[in-house]
Amino acid sequence: MWKMIVSELTQAMQELARGFAHILPRIIVVVIMALVGWAVAYFLKVILRSLLRLIKFDKLSENAGASQLLTKASLPSATDLLCRFVFWVAWLGFILLGVRVLGIVGLQEQIAKFFLFLPRLFVALLIMFFGLLLATFLSRAALLAAVNANSPSPRLLSVSVRTIIIIFVLSMAFEELGVAEQTVLVAFGVAFGALMLGLAIAFGTGGKELAQQFLEKRFGQERKDEGKEDELSPL
Amino acid sequence: MAEESFLTDDFLDQLISVGEVDILVGVPTHNNAKTIGSIVETIQAGILTFFPRDRAAIINADGGSRDGTRQLVVSAAIGDAQSSSKLYALRTLRSISTEYASSPASGTALRTILAAAELLRAKACAVISPESTQVTADWLAALLRPVYAETFDLVLPTYRRHRFDGILLTNLLYPMTRAVYGLRIREPYALEFAFSGRLGSQFLAENAWHGETARAGSEMQFTLAAIAGGYRICQSFLGAKEHVGRRSADLVPALRQTVGALFSSLEPNFSVWNTRTGSQPIPTTGAKQEFSLEPLRVKRKGLREMFSTGVAELESVFQSILSPSTLAELQRIAGLEEASFCYSAELWVKTVYEFAAAYHKSVISRDHIIQALAPLFRGRAFTFLMENRNGSAADVEDNIEALCLEFERMKPYLLKIWNGRE
């Protein structure tokens, strides 16, 4: 009896040792992959940081209005954020490659899905960044043009332009990520439609006065011209 | 002759048939049928009167006129000028017209004239604006003689203007060009000027003829290139200039083609201007500048209102361009009543220099920086009108001189913020 117990225990220990001997090299591979991955990720981070500083990415981000958003959210600068993102994606990529060696059932499929998702995430981030850049540029252009044309409510016009573009960009980014595509599409349609309806009602309600102002301005101008009031030549 | 490539074959053929000339007069046009006939006749009369023994040609660079401007230039026969002025040419005087594009672009028009001048090996060239209805034959002599007979490279005009005409010139372009480059040039942006073949060829070869330069602002760049290149520059008094040429609505395009050109010149010419202090007068024939004082009804109130609206609405834009102290001061004066409103010379100079530094650093789109200056300029224009509403010509001149000295005094501030963080 005692002999049997000892034999079973020995066999179990041997199997455990065999299993350990079987898994240990794989764990070592994972650790090595993690270490190499950390080094590669760190190297990529340093290279990317230098590159982004060279192209003055922070200034570009400031122009896009992204820096202000990041500051409000108590997040690091755009350069720092992008570098950290690349570092973690690269390191995680290496670790997951290492984990594949462990041969855990079902994990490989998830890892493959993760790697397939990465390009889409990157494209979505790019869409967001350049969309924000475009929204800031066009809303500022609208604001300046409205102020210099002495139009009523320049800021409203500028905010409307910005909002429309951001809604459009967000819907594009979510579509790229494949997150609730139908919901996003419907939400975009509803938001865009509501905005247009709001603008239509606003113009409809205020249209009478605006038309009156326009005509007054027009005829007033003609009257002033008749009165020979000169406009100054800047040059 | 790389410049041949953008000229049409027909135009090149016509230039070849002319051969070489001593004097060339360029007239850039776009739908100027109302005035072009008389201007070409005046130019012909000027050449016949003052340069009868010299080979001359008139080159019309047209930006797609649809009113027969080009036909009028070509058909303006020398005989008309001869019979009206009883003058006779000893040489052939040719008028050539070419359409450089289907829409106007002053930069391309100037490029066409410069290329023609180079191909014809002209010794002296003048450019006359088709909108200058008060042009006389004497203008030709005043512009061309210093180049032709006195070896100057660039002759810029001075005019008799209404005291409130050209406020952008008197409040920004003249004082800032003077302070930065150290030369007292009254009209750095000129539509009538003359230049030597040497300067023309140099500018033609070195200027980047694309983008915004091709569309507008090349006249200002031409002057700045001559200053930076150390060419001999002088001024000639031409006479009266109409006081209502452009509407105030044209302010933003005017800022683009003048202030934009001035600001963009600062970067490549930094080594030229950073060590210069004070300013020097340049040789001037005739009056430095004259002011007429006839009454003029001006929309002053609108200027101040647009300034106040601009300061309030563009706060987020100004935060990127101006220092906090300058912006705070602008916001303070924007709230003042009309009677107590004053956009002081010191604050104006500080504003302009901070805009120049922001333009250099591209803190936002450069075109947006120029556009953002428009409402602030209106505020300064209002103060200028108020300060000089009862002033004599001497008072106006004194005020402009004081502003120029303020620009010169504060030049170290421009240098300080040029590369600094302030």
DSSP letters for B119-145: HTT-SEEEE--TT-TT--HHHHHHHHH
Average pLDDT of every residue of chain A: 81
> B304, B292, B381: which is closest to B339 by C-alpha?
B304
**Alpha-carbon A141 to chain mean position:** 23
Give the mean model confidence (pLDDT) for residues B278-290. 87
Residue of B nearest to A154 (CA): B313
Compute the distance between CA of residue B227 and CA of residue B377 in angstroms, rounded to an integer.
Answer: 25
Question: At which residue do the structure tokens 């909108």 appear?
Answer: B131
Q: Above 50 in pLDDT, residue B1?
A: no
Shared-domain flag, residues B277 and B180: yes
Indicate the pLDDT class of residue B168, thresholds 50, 70 and 90.
Answer: very high
Distance from CA of A231 to the nearest CA of B (A): 6
In chain A, the largest separation of any two C-alpha atoms, in whole Å, equals: 124
pLDDT in tens, A215-230: 666 555 544 444 445 5
Average pLDDT over residues B137-153: 93
Residues B29-50, mean pLDDT to the nearest whole number: 91
What one-letter code names the amino acid at B220?
M
Q: How far is B254 from B244, CA to CA, in rounded Å?
A: 14
| Contact status of B245 with chain A (Cβ, < 8 Å) | yes
Return the residue of B nearest to A137 by Cα.
Answer: B365
**Residue range A55-110, pLDDT digits in tens:** 888 877 776 667 766 776 667 788 888 899 889 988 988 888 888 777 777 777 88
**% of residues, chain B, pLDDT over 70:** 92
The number of distinct structural domains making up chain B is 2
Averaged pLDDT for residues A48-55: 89
pLDDT at B123 over 90: yes
CB contact under 8 A, B167 and A154: no
Return the structure tokens found at A55.
């192209």
A113-127 pLDDT tens trace: 888 888 888 888 888
CB contacts, 8 Å: B164 with chain A: 232
Are residues B232 and B326 located together in one domain of the fold?
no
Are B281 and B331 within one domain? no
Q: Cα–Cα distance between B372 and B107 in angstroms, integer?
A: 24
Which among B168, B371, B377 has CB closest to A144? B371
pLDDT at B196 over 90: yes
Per-residue pLDDT, A215: 65
A168: distance to nearest CA of chain B, Å? 23
Q: What tens digit of pLDDT does each residue of B305-320 get?
A: 999 999 999 999 999 9
Q: Are B209 and B264 part of one and the same domain?
A: yes
Check CB contact of B4 with chain A, cutoff 8 Å.
no
Average pLDDT of every residue of chain B: 89
- Using a CB–CB cutoff of 8 Å, tell me whether A140 touches chain B: yes
Identify the residue with better confidence: B120 or B82.
B120
Chain B residues with CB under 8 Å of A143 CB are: 313-314, 317
The confidence band for B30, taking pLDDT boundaries of 50, 70 and 90, is: very high
Predicted pLDDT of residue A208 = 62
Both B170 and B80 in one domain: the answer is: yes
d(CA A179, CA B232): 68
Are A234 and B254 in contact (CB < 8 Å)?
A: yes
- The Cα of B381 is separated from the nearest Cα of chain A by a number of Å equal to 9
| Residues B17 and B89 reside in one and the same domain | yes
Task: Please answer whether residues B35 and B65 qualify as being in contact, where contact means their C-beta atoms are separated by less than 8 angstroms.
Answer: no
Please give the pLDDT value at position A109: 80
Using a CB cutoff of 8 Å and minimum separation of 24, what contacts does B34-40 make? B35/B130, B35/B131, B35/B133, B36/B60, B36/B69, B36/B72, B36/B73, B36/B76, B36/B130, B37/B72, B37/B76, B38/B133, B39/B128, B39/B130, B39/B132, B39/B133, B39/B135, B40/B72, B40/B73, B40/B76, B40/B95
Residues B325 and B263 in one domain: no
Question: Among partner residues B299, B313, B363, which is closest to A147 by beta-carbon distance?
Answer: B313
Does one domain contain both B209 and B345?
Answer: no
Q: Nearest by CB to A231, which of B255, B299, B317? A: B299
* Beta carbons of B284 and B303 less than 8 angstroms apart: no
Q: Which of B275, B292, B309 is the last residue of a domain?
A: B292
Rounded to 5 degrees, what angle do the CA atoms A15, A20, A26 make? 140
CB contact under 8 A, A154 and B371: no
Q: Which band of pLDDT confidence, cut at 50, 70 and 90, is reported for residue B111?
A: very high
How large a percentage of chain A has pLDDT more than 70?
83
Residues of chain A neighbouring B309 (CB-CB closer than 8 A):
147, 150, 154
B167 contacts chain A (CB < 8 A): yes
Last residue within a domain, chosen from B267, B292, B317 = B292
Distant-in-sequence, close-in-space partners of B81: CB < 8 Å, separation ≥ 6: B41, B44, B45, B48, B87
Query: Which of the listed residues B230, B260, B292 is the one where a domain comes to its end?
Result: B292
The answer to whether the Cβ–Cβ distance between B248 and A154 falls below 8 Å is no
Q: Is the dihedral of CA A28, A33, A36, A42 positive or negative?
A: negative
Question: In which domain, by residue range, is B164 found?
Answer: 2-292
> What is the predicted pLDDT for the residue at A126?
85
* pLDDT at residue B229, rounded to an integer: 93
Chain A neighbors of B372, CB-CB under 8 A: 144
Residue B56, helix vs strand vs coil: strand
B134 and B280 inside one domain: yes
- Give yes or no: residues B137 and B196 share one domain: yes
Same domain, residue pair B152 and B93: yes
Residue A98 makes CB contacts below 8 A (sequence gap 6+) with: A29, A30, A31, A32, A33, A34, A37
Q: In which band, very low, low, confident or very high, does the pLDDT at A201 lie, cut at 50, 70 and 90?
A: confident
Closest residue of chain A to B246, computed from CA coordinates: A233
- For residue A179, the model assigns a pLDDT of 77
Is A163 part of the contact surface with chain B (CB cutoff 8 Å)? no
Of the two residues A135 and A213, the one the predictor is more confident about is A135
What CATH number corresponds to the domain at position B26?
3.90.550.10
Chain B hits for A150, Cβ within 8 Å:
302, 306, 309
Q: Is A120 on the interface with B (CB under 8 A)?
A: no
CB contact under 8 A, A147 and B375: yes
Mutate which: B248, B301, B304, B383, vs A, most A CBs within 10 A: B248
Of the given ranges (A152-156, B43-47, B208-212), which has the lowest mean pLDDT? B208-212
Question: Confidence band (pLDDT; 50, 70, 90) for A23?
Answer: confident
- Asked if the model's pLDDT at residue B369 lies above 90, the reply is yes
- The confidence score (pLDDT) of residue B124 equals 95
Average pLDDT in the B343-370 region? 94
Residue given tokens 């040059």 in the structure block: A235
pLDDT computed for residue A214 by the predictor = 63
Q: Which residue of B has its CA nearest to A233?
A: B246
User: For residue B243, what is the nearest residue in chain A, using CA coordinates?
Assistant: A233
Q: Do B324 and B188 share a structural domain?
A: no
Q: Are B121 and B20 in contact (CB under 8 A)?
A: yes
